Amino acid sequence: RMFPRWIENSIYGAGSSPVTDGKAVYLTVDGEYEAGKQSRVIAHSARTGHELWTKTPGFARNGYVTPIIYHDGPIKLLLTITSKTLVGYDAADGAVAWRLTVPVHQPVPSPIVENGRLYVTGGISGGHTAAYKLRPDPARVRAPSPHSSRRGITAVAAQSAQ
């Protein structure tokens, strides 16, 4: 049994697809508003299936996006979008490397990265489309407060439906 029982007890299941870097399998499971469940970001060993780490980010809710793996120099990040938050998790331990508030509710499409830009789109109640320039953090120091951190990302263009 690879994934824990709480995924099976979710209203919609995992809500995203697992991704792997060959060493670990990563999964984001946002708690649904209707169920009052806690969101989780999880890493399992690709070889043994054992849990490597799990995090419960209090800001994550109602997102169904499969994360993508992005290499920021020596740091591997999981990039995803959840309701109202674009976030980069450190794949080594699940810590929030940065997060940015965005006007998206219940996102489904996965972000993509090309030529140093992160593209996001989707969400119900109007939707949101944006491009962000990813900036490597040469100091590799996390901002003191992930709640307002923009370290590592700059908005290039954004459009929300009216």
End-to-end CA distance of the chain: 45
Radius of gyration for the alpha carbons in the chain, expressed in angstroms and rounded:
15
Q: Which of 34-38, 55-59, 83-87, 88-92 has the lowest mean pLDDT?
A: 34-38
Percent of the residues in the chain that have a pLDDT greater than 70, as a whole number = 69
Of 24, 5, 32, 27, nearest to 16 by C-alpha is 27
- The pLDDT, as a whole number, for residue 52 is 94
User: What pTM does this model have?
Assistant: 0.77
- Joined together, the tokens standing for residue 84 give 């109202």
**Rounded distance, CA 6 to CA 107, Å?**
21
pLDDT digits (tens, 9 = 90+) for 19-60: 999 999 998 877 665 566 677 888 999 999 899 998 888 777
